[in-house]
Structure 1
Amino acid sequence: MRGYLGAMLLASALIPSVAQAQTSPVGAPALDPARLAAAHELIDILMPPATRAQMVESMMTPMLANLRQGMTQNPDFAKTMNADPRVKALFDTFMARQQTRTMTMMRDALPGMSDAMARAYARRFDVAQMRDIKAFFGTPTGRLYMQQSYTIMADPDVGAWQRTMMANSMTGVQADVADFAKQIAALEPKKK
């Protein structure tokens, strides 16, 4: 059971790291102001400010649900939860707290994400290319793509893939956490 708890804690530590990796790289070349302005306009079309939080939540909710389901598919963990309803209650509380924390962090990080994405677009596309991209998203197909792209993470095939990946990674993480704990236990205390 201790290995599973360690794996869950490790998994929860990985969730927030996605949103925290948003700072500009040190030493990155200065961006052309015209490209950056065009990129901000494009990001505002791709992720309208009024619906950004909802869009991110619609992507994150199924990912977190798949994370949860992947963890519970581990036969040993499922057996432990089924053997003691208190474990399931603790797990439910733990996952609810992780979801709340992750969603809050993502909502708080949206301005930084928008700016980071604009800078990334400005590095990769010139003003004319961004106008072409903007024009595409003005077409019926472009608008449909924007609407549907945010629901991709909730697709059954994507969900099944995520659950399989989570179940597979839990197997490796459990062994790694157990090995790490053994290595720490084997360390001799520092002599003063």
Structure 2
Amino acid sequence: MRLAFRLSLIGLALLAAPTALAQGAPDAARVAAARPVVDKIFPVGTYRRMMDGTMSKMMDSMMDGMMKMPIAQFAHIGGVPEEKLAALEESSMEQISAIIDPHFRQRMKLGMDAMMGSMVDMMDGFEPKVRNALTRAYARKFDGKQLGELATFFGTPTGDLYARESMMMFMDPEIMSEMQALMPEMMKKMPEMTAKAEAATKDLPPPRKVADLSRQERGKLAKLLGVEASVLHDAPVASDEGTE
């Protein structure tokens, strides 16, 4: 139950997509006027500049912070009752991993760097679509006169510097420091956030089990999953159900 709520938070960002699609396409003249503006504010290679090196350092700092967090906080987020956490108050992931896997931090660092390298390469290929979408967004937000004024400003030394660095400012050490500090605080708040999500949906009926489905519904579900209907069955009750 708790795990389902935490996983459902991942999809919240997708809610903005229908709104954007419903706004309609901007006219061609404004798109043309927006393109040089986006060329300045989001030049080719922006994602690589943002992610290559800077993101790796940020992830390292976040990992260091999480390794030092009391293991009781992780257990609490996982639904372990308060009375069972007292003995864990002084323990940290760093202390435990030093015994179980002395190379854990190095393993995570190497793995994260490898993943980040692949992510940078992937974003290189994805960036043109983002630039096109950003061009349409600017064309929708600003009229031709405003886009011309932006282009004029970006043609000045100060405007050119601002345009080139505006996206990179989000990776500035000052901002990264605050974002890193947010992670432990967010993890502390996670049980409270999960409880509020559960309270908000408590009057809804629970999700149906496979056994509750009609033969037709079971067949449709099997087709969507690409399996035979005969293999569908209800999963065993999760162990954290008893902690609700």
TM-score by structure 1 length?
0.69
Cα distance, 1:164 vs. partner? 0.5
Q: 1:103 aligns with which of 120, 144, 147?
A: 120
Amino acid at match of 1:140: P
Is residue 42 from structure 1 mapped to residue 59 from structure 2 by the alignment?
no
Amino acid at match of 2:63: M
Which structure would you say has the larger RCO, counting Cα contacts within 8 Å and 6 or more residues apart?
Answer: 1
Amino acid at match of 1:118: T
Task: Describe the superposition over 1:171-190 as per-residue Cα deviations: whole angstroms up to 9, x where unpaired.
Answer: 4569999xxxxx83356xxx
Q: Which moved more, 1:77-86 or 1:136-145?
A: 77-86
Q: 1:57 aligns with which of 44, 48, 56?
A: 48
Q: 2:62 aligns with which of 64, 70, 90?
A: 70
Cα distance, 1:88 vs. partner? 1.7
Q: Give the corresponding residue for 1:160.
A: 177
Amino acid at match of 1:71: M
Q: Aligned in 2, Cα 1:147/1:116: closer, same or farther, shift over 3 Å?
A: closer
In the alignment of these two chains, the number of paired residues is 165
Cα distance, 1:62 vs. partner? 2.0
Q: Aligned in 2, Cα 1:22/1:186: closer, same or farther, shift over 3 Å?
A: closer
Q: Name the SS of the counterpart of 1:31 in structure 2.
A: coil
Amino acid at match of 1:139: T
Q: 1:119 aligns with which of 126, 136, 160?
A: 136
Q: Give the corresponding residue for 2:102.
A: 85
CA–CA distance in 2 between the matches of 1:23 and 1:41?
Answer: 27
Cα distance, 1:100 vs. partner? 1.8
Q: Name the SS of the counterpart of 2:21 in structure 1.
A: coil
Cα distance, 1:144 vs. partner? 2.1
Q: Give the corresponding residue for 1:29.
A: 24
Q: Which runs of 5+ in 1 are unaligned?
A: 1-5, 178-182, 188-192
Q: Name the SS of the counterpart of 1:85 in structure 2.
A: coil
Cα distance, 1:106 vs. partner? 1.4
Cα distance, 1:22 vs. partner? 8.1
**Same amino acid, percent of matched pairs:** 27
Q: Aligned in 2, Cα 1:71/1:176: closer, same or farther, shift over 3 Å?
A: farther
Q: Give the corresponding residue for 2:77.
A: none
Q: Give the corresponding residue for 1:184.
A: 238
Q: Name the SS of the counterpart of 2:24 in structure 1.
A: coil
Q: Which runs of 5+ in 2 are unaligned?
A: 69-91, 195-236
Is residue 142 from structure 1 mapped to residue 159 from structure 2 by the alignment?
yes
For the aligned residue pairs, the C-alpha RMSD in angstroms reads 3.5
Cα distance, 1:159 vs. partner? 2.1
Which structure has greater helix proportion?
1
Q: Aligned in 2, Cα 1:43/1:32: closer, same or farther, shift over 3 Å?
A: same
